[in-house]
Structure 1
Amino acid sequence: MKNITLITIVFFALIFPYLTFGQGYKNPVIPGFYPDPSICKVSDDYYLVSSTFEYFPGVPVFHSKDLINWNQIGHCLTRKSQLPFEKVTPSQGIYAPTLRYHNGVFYMVTTLMISRNENANFYVTATNPAGPWSDPIYVDQSGIDPSLFWDDDGKVYFQSNRATSFDDARAIYQSEIDIKTGEILSEIKMLWTGSGAQYIEAPHVYKKDGYYYLMTAEGGTFYNHQVTIARSKNIWGPYEGCPHNPILTARNSYDVIQGTGHGDLIEAHDGSWWMVFLCIRPTVGNCPVLGRETSLVPVEWKNGWPVVNETGVATAQMDVPTLPLKPFPEKSTLTEFDEKELGLEWNYIRNPVASNYSLDNKQGSLALKGEKWTLSDALGEITFVGRRIQHWSFSAETELVFAPKADNETAGICIMSRNNYHYDLFLQKRNNQQYLVLEYRIGSITHREAEIPVEGGSIKLKIGGKKTFYEFSYAENGSSNYHTIASVDSRFMSADVSGGYTGPYVGLFASGNGEKSTAWAYYDWFKYQEKGEL
């Protein structure tokens, strides 16, 4: 009997952590183009932001109770006064943000990048992370990836990877600032040049057990990416590097989770430590067709240094104890355009012209009117609204009613990587005949794959995605019998091919192709659905 009791006690001792906590999860925890994550907590609520570059609104805000299940609750930058994007080209705009919470106020600090010689660091504030957020408060310190740190004495410090210009040596620099005005109160001082890899960026300062820890990213934001850390007893240094830097990298990993870097640490409400970070998942041609994504790893502190996931490597399948899992209700895959505003998943390219978008013109439809600019223009007020592709296998479909009044007017659905890399399925009129056109833009090459005569009235347009290709199809006049037009390689929509830092969108668009359109395009509904693999 004693043996049975002892066995029972040992059994429950071993399984108790797994009964009270979740067990295991899959990376990425936020799939799709959500790079450069930063995180903060308020009690047992966690909030996360990521980069958005030329897309508007800027900097999505996510909420979680368990660090694994995330729900978007708003954006930090929703007004043109916060995001003057007139001169922003692809992969410029809003670079890596940092999110912090202090004394009842949320702070999001980031970089508006227009060019090497035209950029600005600023922060906005809110008492509710869902918004609204304030107009920008600017800090006259150069560089990108800014961060904020509050010390125990109330002083606030600002970090970035340049001092006064982009001609400065690349390193992490710091100044003390007045958090109410953004005024710099001290000399801008170099703190650390890194562990020896290139492109040091993404600084974050933490205080633990009497040390200031300065965590950074190095190696560039693709396959050589890594997280490194240093520490000092003084906020101004000198900083000593961790003896086992990098503390996170995928340089020698064969797991699908690659390009790991740009992390932010968080101590959970139960005392456990975690890191959110960006990653890529290569597929065809070793190209990550979903962009840079947000993942999560556990962290332990040993001998005064953080140890990430025991090995310094993250994996897609994480078999570790977690916080109690608290998933959110599943969202509908169908958007019927019967609300007053589009959902938080929708973005525009640069600042939208409000008069070219309407949810009121026709009840239950999204109406778009084209400007003179096209998807291939690097500047301009393109009529486009889209959402991130978040899964290797997916379907995206819509029903379109469009009666162009002139041969230059077009409207349809697209896969968008950047202005010179996109696949477009659209309606166009010529000689009083309407055509459905499938066209590819790949760098300097524009190829018209198909031109199909169609009847007037409604037409359903569909894109089916797999790891290696996208398939385009259509159905006319209310039919559900889709006709396949063609398939095309997905890797050309990867930033490894197209360049820059963004990931692919599936979007709805209209254009006057050199002249402003007069005809409206009406989208009755849109459906995005995962199909199998994440």
Structure 2
Amino acid sequence: MRRLLLAASALTTIGAAPQSAPVASFDWFAYRGADPIDSAVEPGPGQYRNPVLAGFHPDPSVLRVGDDYYLVNSTFAYFPGLPIYHSRDLVSWHQIGNAIDRPDQFDFGKLRLSRGIFAPDLSYHDGTYYLAGTCVDCGGNFVMTARDPAGPWSDPVWNKIEGIDPSLFFDADGSAWILNNGTPPEPPRYEGHRAIWIQRIDLTTLQPFGPRTVLIDGGVHPAEKPIWAEGPHIYAHDGWYYLSTAEGGTAENHSQTIWRSKSVDGPYTPGPINPILTQRDLPADRDHPITSAGHADFVTTPSGKWWATFLATRPYKGDFYNIGRETFLLPVTWHDGWPLILPPKTPIPYVHKRPDLPREADRARPQTGAFSYRDDFGGERLSPAWLMIRNPHSRWYAQADGALRLTARPAPLGGNTQPSYLGRRLQHHHGTITVRMHFAPKQAGDRAGIAILQSQDYFYTLSLAEKDGGMAVELRKRAGADDPAGGTVVASEPVRIKAGAPIDLSIRPDGARIGFAYAVKPGTWHRLPDQDATILSTKTAGGFIGATVGPFATAAH
């Protein structure tokens, strides 16, 4: 109970809302998603479906302690951050908390959404859980600790290691090491030239000490100018130290490489098959492609089998995907002393044989495949899956009496402060997301409704607003930094509704198109013109995140 109260404290006890501000009340949030591949490829008995965590679950780091598995993902400038998932079978994952659940742990300030927390690493040693990561533009590299992975997690302990993507390795002799991506020892020879470094770390002070050594300079084939060696992990196996790193950047040329050494601090030799995971060597026009695979982490089962979690993407056309980078799972096989995730030119399978682990009983909603769920906002605590943009510094949200209430404030979604917005990860390219809302705007410019957002520069909002002395439903679009921070009106319809009466608002992703609808009378939907969904893609908007969708409220300036 103490952990739950701490994890929810940021959602209930910060500041106070202005008494005069309009408040939007939401009775429920309903999500239903199903992509064509969900029905085209069905897992059989003893199989599981990839991805295991759909939609905006990048940079997975996985850990086993006894019979329990834990996993963490990057969250960049969203709060709460660094979701912690638990599983007993590596397939069914349930969120048990967020490592960042207090506003004063990190200060995201006015960061853009794709800055903040990159590539966390989860590890365990002698009764303590460790989480290493980088807060880009907000502090640098850090290590946090906890006695329970569900939390509470400590404040970050900062260090002065240059670069990103730190991870910890605990050797059998009791020594502990920190490794990460950094600038090469000599001036970079080309754009994206990086190095992997290692150094001892003191587990009492969580500070590195001693010499800092280069393990990899560039990548597997230096003459080919490999880019962005990053996300390193070390594993000990059969008398060898294995170093696995991502390479090629996180777009379509992404890959995973493997090296080994007899000494933890090198020298390391690349394996005979490299990369050990990529999809860049497959035809671009294949059906239902999975692309951009890399950033892998290994874990073993009690019987000694090896598995890898990694990120990849599922475009709906070309290189367009709106749901971000997702978490996939595949076995690791060993050949002549070297691990391999997939042979060259092998597509990542959508279904695969399950790990040799007892199947976990369903205890929460699915995280992959076709599924639906509904949040009726029962109790006093929000689900840990809700996200807000940057840290909260005032109480503009509350959950009580079976409703979610958002105070409308003059902070637009496209601004550099924190808007009144709560989002859930979009986990399908095809679906329907609906809210029932009550809102009474007090003046022109007050708006509340539902938003789907890829970044502060690219989003749609469907809202109820005051217009010409009456009420209207407005559809707004922001498609670049030059557009107004609140978006531009692309459709508007007057509605006969009393202020504060219920209205249903719906967003309907459909691949490259996206629909919007409203209902003053439940079930009687009025559709607005469909819009271009590709503006919500990473290819258009840039960055490293996936779209989120949820309720918002904005007040006139």
Alpha-carbon distance in structure 2 between the residues aligned to 1:358 and 1:70: 27
Give the CA deviation at 1:321: 4.8
Q: CA shift at 1:386, angstroms?
A: 0.7
TM-superposed CA distance for 1:163, in Å, is 6.2
**Percent of aligned positions that are identical:** 38
Q: Give 2:474's aligned residue.
A: 437
Query: Taking structure 2 as the reference length, what is the TM-score of the superposition?
Result: 0.84
CA contact (8 A) 1:143 1:165 kept: no
The answer to whether residue 152 in structure 2 is matched with residue 132 in structure 1 is yes
Residue 500 of structure 1: aligned partner = 543
Tell me, in whole angstroms, the C-alpha distance in 1 between the residues paired with 2:393 and 2:433: 25
Instruction: Give the 3 Å change call, closer, same or farther, for CA 327–32 of structure 1 in structure 2.
Output: farther
Q: Which residue of 1 aligns with 2:493?
A: 452
Separation in structure 2 between the aligned mates of residue 165 and residue 383 of structure 1, nearest angstrom: 45
**Offset from partner CA, 1:390-441 (integer Å, 9 cap, x none):** 1222211111111111212111101100011001101111332111100111
2:73 aligned residue (43, 50, 53) = 50
Residue aligning to 2:128: 105
178, 181, 201: which one pairs with 1:158? Answer: 178
Q: CA deviation at 1:466?
A: 2.0
Q: Which residue identity does 2:211 align to in structure 1?
A: E
CA, structure 1 residues 510+308, in 2 after alignment: closer, same or farther (shift >3 Å)? same
Quote the residue 2:362 is aligned against: 328
2:208 is the alignment partner of 1:184: yes
Assess, with a 3 A threshold, how the Cα gap between structure 1 residues 312 and 68 changes in structure 2: closer, same or farther: farther
- Shift >4 Å, 4+ stretches: 163-169
C-alpha separation in 1, matches of 2:433 and 2:347:
31
- Equivalent-residue separation in structure 2 for 1:337 and 1:399 (angstroms): 12
- Provide closer, same or farther for how the CA distance between residues 97 and 22 of structure 1 changes in structure 2, counting only shifts above 3 A: farther
**Deviation at residue 316 of structure 1 after TM alignment:** 3.5
1:286 Cα shift? 3.1
Q: CA deviation at 1:486?
A: 2.1
Which residue of structure 1 lines up, in the alignment, with residue 305 of structure 2?
A: 272
SS in 2 for 1:342: coil
Q: Out of 181-190 and 322-331, give the one that drifted further.
A: 322-331
Distance in 1 of aligned mates of 2:459 and 2:292 = 24
State the AA in 2 paired with 1:150: F
1:375-395 C-alpha deviation (Å, 9 max, x unpaired): 111x11211101001122221
CA positional deviation for 1:353: 3.6
For residues 187 and 453 of structure 2, the distance between their equivalents in structure 1, rounded to whole angstroms, comes to 33
Match of 2:432 in 1: 395
Residue 463 of structure 1 and its aligned partner are, at CA, apart by: 1.1
Evaluate the alpha carbon distance shift between residue 188 and residue 502 of structure 1 in structure 2; reply closer, same or farther with a 3 A threshold. Answer: same
Query: Is contact 1:141–1:164 with CA below 8 Å preserved after alignment?
Result: no
2:241 to 212, 215, 229: 212
CA deviation profile, 1:233-282 (whole Å, cap 9, x unmatched): 11111110112110000012346211100000111122111110000011
Q: Is the 8 A contact 2:399 2:405 kept in 1?
A: yes
How far did 1:167 drift?
7.4
Q: Residue 463 of structure 1 aligns to a residue in which SS? A: strand
Match of 2:377 among 337, 344, 355: 337
Within 1, Cα distance between the matches of 2:186 and 2:91? 37
Whole-angstrom distance in 2 between the partners of 1:307 and 1:191: 21
Query: 2:5 maps to what in 1?
Result: none
Whether the 8 Å CA contact 2:184–2:195 is kept in 1: the answer is: no
- The answer to whether 1:463 aligns with 2:507 is yes
Deviations, residues 117-175 of structure 1 (Å, cap 9, x unaligned): x6411111111111111111122101111100001111111111116999776110111
Deviations along 1:89-127, one digit per CA (max 9) or x if unpaired, are 22001101000111121111110011xxx6411111111
For 1:480, the equivalent position in structure 2 comes to: 523
Task: Tell whether 2:293 aligns with 1:260.
Answer: yes
8 A Cα contact 2:452 2:459, kept in partner: yes
The alignment status of 1:142 with 2:162, answered yes or no, reads yes
What is the match of residue 12 of structure 1?
A: none
- Encode CA deviations 1:320-343: one digit per residue, 9 max, x unaligned: 352343242343712111211111
Q: Secondary structure at the match of 1:491?
A: helix
Contact 1:100 1:148 in 2 (8 A): yes
Look up the match of 1:195. 220
Give the TM-score of the pair, scaled to structure 1. Answer: 0.87
Question: What residue ranges of structure 2 are gaps of 5+ in the alignment?
Answer: 1-43, 366-371
Residue matched to 2:96:
73
Deviations 1:178-209 (A, max 9, x none): 12212222122211122132111000011111
Conserved in 1, the CA contact under 8 Å of 2:75 and 2:118?
yes
Q: Distance in 2 between matches of 1:40 and 1:327?
A: 20
Work out the CA distance in 2 between the residues paired with 1:330 and 1:100.
25
* Distance in 2 separating the partners of 1:509 and 1:166: 49
Q: Answer yes or no: is 1:295 the counterpart of 2:328.
A: yes
Q: Which residue of structure 1 lines up, in the alignment, with residue 198 of structure 2?
A: 174
Letter in 2 for 1:141: I
Distance in 1, Cα, partners of 2:322 & 2:350? 20
String of CA shifts for 1:458-499, please: whole Å, max 9, x gaps: 2110112222322100111x4221111121222211111101
> Match of 1:532?
none
Aligned-partner Cα distance in 1 for 2:186–2:476: 40
Give the one of 382, 396, 403 matched to 1:356. 396
CA root-mean-square deviation: 2.0
2:59 paired residue number: 36
In structure 1, distance between residues paired with 2:265 and 2:338: 19
- Could you tell me whether the CA contact under 8 Å between 2:48 and 2:354 is conserved in 1? no
Q: Is the 8 A contact 1:439 1:450 kept in 2?
A: yes
Q: Which of 343, 347, 352 is residue 319 of structure 1 equivalent to?
A: 352
Matched, 1:223 2:252: yes
Corresponding residue for 1:365? 403
Say whether 1:286 aligns with 2:319: yes
CA distance in 2, matches of 1:339, 1:313: 47
Could you list the runs of 5+ residues in structure 1 that have no partner in the other structure? 1-20, 516-534
CA distance in 2, matches of 1:286, 1:145: 25
Aligned-residue offset at 1:354: 3.9
